[in-house]
Structure formats: C-alpha cells, structure tokens
Amino acid sequence: MKFSSTLAGVALLLFAASAGAQMYKWKDAKGVVHFSDQPPPERGVKVEKKAVDGGARDVVLPYALAEAARRSPVVLYTTAGCAACDQGRALLNQRGIPFIEKTVTTNDDQQKLQEAGGSGQLPLLLVGGARRIGFEAGAWNETLTHAAYPAQRRLPAGYHNPVASPAAPPAAVEERAPAPALAPEPERTAPAPKPPAPVTPPGFKF
C-alpha cells in the first residue's frame, strides 16, 4: 500500500508540474503523507513546498514560470529618483516577473553596472543573456516573451521578490586574529667589574 501511494503521489506531482499547478506535500495528524494541489485543510501540519531562489520560500511557482526564471533569470539595475526605473519595475511587477533588483549609488555600484554591460544609463534590464538599456515597454515585453515568460501574471498569491540590494554589496569586515604577545626581553645584567691592577712596590722588577 505504501508503494502504490508513493507512485500515485509521484504521478500526481508530474501531472501538476506539466499543468503548471502548485503542489503541496504534507502529513496529517496520523503521519500519513498527502500530495495535493490545494493547501492542507488543517493548520499546524508540516507542509513542504519549493520556490525559485530569491522569492517567497513557502510559495511554489507555476512550472512554466519557474522554468523561464531558471533559464533566463531577470535582474534589474535601478537608482533613486529615476522615473524610468520606477516604470520598468512597475512593468515587471504587473506582468508577474520574478526578478532581482540591484541599486546603483556608489562608484563601486557603477563599476558593477559596467561589468554587467551597462553604459551608465538606467534602468538596465538583464533577461538571461539579453540586455535592455533604458526603459521601453514594447522592447521589454518582447524580450520577456522571447525568454518564455508568460504574457499574463501567473505569480501565486504570497510570492514576493527579494528586497533591492546594492549592485556592489559592502565587503565584509575581516576579523583579524590578535597579534601574538611578544616574549619579554631577558634582563640584562651589568658586566662584572674588572679587578684592580696590582700595585707593585717601588723598585720591584719582574
């Protein structure tokens, strides 16, 4: 019975993956394992779900969206006070694209932007190996569609993109080991005084 239930669970997972559905694996109070595309009916049970790196860890992406994110990850470079950056971010969120945002503020951030293929103009959109400098809605949507991202939002409820972080994260401060204590110098003793020269009586010869 355990073998057949396991096969059924695997088959259910494969079917759901091909259909792009969310899957849940959980145990009930009796320890029985269940596979379902619906959340468990009871609270307090252990639920196992997976998510694409950077997103909500307890939310599963639909199969097509997860595959697109795996093959062509989306990275957005932005800066503060940039209207075009705000428009680009809004487009990605509206279309339901999982992405990582990197902010450009310091000289080190600028260096990272150049290494990523930027020319100094923001925003910069990377979709796998494709690059879009500046915001243009039509070009961005075309690039995302070419990378097999769904045209309509398919992000599950509860999913969230990572918080924006600097393009060049500050270097971690290295903890240096304390310098070894120096051994005390040996005490220097004063040289022994020389014995006084012998006094010879007058007229004495050797």
Tell me the CA distances in angstroms from 88 to 20, 97, 119, 145, one per residue in order: 26, 11, 17, 15
Tokens standing for residue 115: 């290494």
What are the counts of helices (DSSP H) followed by strands (DSSP E) for the chain? 5, 8
The one-digit pLDDT tens for each residue of the chain (206 residues) are 444 444 444 444 444 444 444 555 666 677 776 666 555 665 444 444 444 445 555 678 999 999 999 999 999 999 999 999 999 999 999 999 999 999 999 999 999 999 999 988 999 999 999 999 999 999 999 999 999 999 999 999 889 899 999 999 887 555 565 666 666 666 666 666 666 665 555 554 54
- pLDDT of amino acid 44: 45
For domain 63-166, which CATH number applies: 3.40.30.10, 3.40.50.300, 1.10.8.60, 3.40.50.720?
Answer: 3.40.30.10
- pLDDT of amino acid 85: 98
Contact criterion met (CB below 8 Å) for 21 and 64: no
- Residue extents of the structural domains in the chain: 2-48, 63-166
- pLDDT of amino acid 178: 63
- pLDDT of amino acid 13: 45
Tell me the CA distances in angstroms from 136 to 101, 124, 146, 172, one per residue in order: 18, 11, 16, 37
Nearest CA to 132 out of 107, 99, 159 is that of: 99
